[in-house]
């Protein structure tokens, strides 16, 4: 099994574990830290052609299974909803089901990718994992959702960007499989954020200009001074709370954080490539899952090294833009990486 990647970084849980303002959340954070992170389907579309004949067309379709851990840390739990089942009385089950479907539809429409492995693998998720569990994660096989503690974190199924992010780790696992350490680990987190943001924007029909570029909006309670876990367009501004501290993400290579925590800052330094993508999408306009998204996806799936650095990935996106679109898109990509300090003004490599 692949190592799990949780949406809530350990440094934020560690900070929360010391909270005096949120005693229940502090206990939940401690328990979460102790607990750790442990088929092809098609749809038939029927239509009538111009001659009045019935036309049947097979297209790719998701195959979702939602299970309920019922407050335990045993996976997968009891199956509570399959692909062809109607909505149930449990909102978390239905939100997970819809979020998995939204991610599948974005991957298919934007990149012609049939599920996480591009071969139609089923999408599995477990809800109600643990007691007051303050995280959601991809464990290499399925999406797992805690319910949050109720003081700081609410149920994680309510955020489509969180679901798209965690399933994004599944896409990365089946493509470049970026090492989860240092710069390649931060790229892993960033690419998952890109896929999470694109899933939300595709689901809402939002253009790059209209999008919030927030990851995890809605998972904080009203007691927290913050709007989301991360802001892709303005890293470092997502939250600023007396107990949780200030969002530590840098927006430029000059602020790159060198640390041994958080697998070398994978959740922190991802702000730099996040901003590069958001700036590219805004500069190009329209839907971010089209030109900007395609460039990033081609870079991810075009033979990228597992140990890729920021500059190696930046070069890969520039090359992908040149192949796919030409100078206008290439210039936008190069300008974005220059703005965040990964490339210099001529697009050459920088040390970093």
pLDDT in tens, 152-162: 999 899 999 99
**Per-residue model confidence as pLDDT tens digits over 10-39:** 778 878 888 888 888 888 887 887 776 554
Res 348: pLDDT: 45
Res 182: pLDDT: 96
**Per-residue model confidence as pLDDT tens digits over 68-124:** 999 999 999 999 999 989 999 999 999 999 999 999 999 999 999 999 999 889 999
Q: Is residue 352 part of a domain?
A: no
Q: Is residue 347 part of a domain?
A: no
Say how many C-beta atoms besides its own lie within 10 A of residue 303's C-beta: 9
Q: Which two tokens stand for residue 46?
A: 């029927």
Q: Is residue 344 part of a domain?
A: no
Rounded distance between C-alpha atoms, residue 284 and residue 329, angstroms: 7
CATH (domain of 228): 1.10.390.10
* Structural domain for 13, as ranges: 5-339
Q: What is the domain count for the chain?
A: 1
165 is catalytic: no
> What long-range pairs does 208-212 form, CB within 8 A, spacing at least 24?
208/278, 208/281, 208/282, 208/284, 208/285, 208/286, 208/287, 208/288, 208/292, 209/282, 209/285, 211/288
Rounded distance between C-alpha atoms, residue 21 and residue 242, angstroms: 9
| Ranges under pLDDT 50 in the chain | 1-3, 39-40, 42, 55-56, 347-352
Distances (CA, A) of 81 to 90, 274, 292: 10, 34, 35
Q: Is residue 249 part of a domain?
A: yes
Q: Which of 83, 166, 189, 243 is catalytic?
A: 166
Q: Is residue 349 part of a domain?
A: no
Q: Is residue 345 part of a domain?
A: no
Res 17: pLDDT: 80
Q: Is residue 350 part of a domain?
A: no
Res 216: pLDDT: 95
Q: Is residue 304 part of a domain?
A: yes
Distances (CA, A) of 313 to 1, 17, 144, 305: 26, 35, 29, 9
Listed residue (207, 218, 340) closest to 273, CA to CA: 340
Q: Which of 128, 165, 169, 267 is catalytic?
A: 267
2 is catalytic: no
């Amino acid at each position: 099994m692949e190592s799990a990647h949780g949406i809530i970084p350990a440094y934020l849980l560690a900070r929360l574990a010391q909270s005096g303002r949120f005693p229940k959340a502090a206990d939940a954070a401690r328990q979460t830290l102790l607990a750790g992170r442990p088929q092809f389907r098609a749809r038939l579309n029927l239509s009538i052609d111009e001659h009045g004949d019935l036309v049947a067309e097979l297209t790719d379709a998701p195959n979702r299974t939602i299970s309920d851990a019922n407050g335990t840390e045993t996976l997968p739990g009891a199956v509570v909803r399959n692909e062809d089942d109607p909505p149930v009385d449990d909102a978390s089950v239905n939100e997970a089901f819809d979020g998995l479907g939204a991610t599948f539809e974005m991957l298919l429409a934007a990149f012609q990718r049939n599920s996480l492995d591009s071969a139609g693998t089923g999408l599995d998720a477990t809800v109600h994992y643990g007691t007051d569990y303050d995280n959601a994660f991809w464990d290499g096989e399925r999406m797992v959702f805690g319910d949050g503690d109720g003081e700081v974190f609410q149920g994680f199924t309510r955020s489509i960007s969180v679901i798209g992010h965690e399933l994004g780790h599944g896409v990365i696992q089946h493509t470049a499989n970026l090492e989860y350490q240092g710069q390649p680990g931060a790229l892993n987190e960033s690419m998952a954020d890109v896929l999470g943001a694109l899933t939300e924007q595709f689901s809402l029909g939002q253009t790059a200009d209209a999008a919030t570029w927030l990851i995890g909006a809605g998972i904080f309670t009203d007691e927290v001074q913050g709007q989301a876990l991360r802001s892709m367009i303005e890293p470092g501004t997502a939250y600023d709370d007396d107990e949780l501290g200030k969002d530590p993400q840098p927006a430029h290579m000059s602020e790159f954080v060198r640390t041994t925590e958080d697998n070398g800052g994978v959740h922190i330094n991802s702000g730099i490539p996040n901003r590069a993508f958001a700036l590219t999408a805004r500069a190009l306009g329209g839907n971010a899952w089209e030109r900007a998204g395609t460039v990033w996806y081609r870079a991810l799936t075009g033979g990228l090294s597992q140990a890729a650095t920021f500059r190696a990935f930046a070069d890969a996106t520039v090359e992908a833009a040149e192949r796919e679109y030409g100078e206008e898109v290439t210039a936008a990509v190069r300008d974005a990486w220059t703005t965040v300090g990964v490339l210099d003004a001529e697009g050459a490599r920088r040390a970093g």
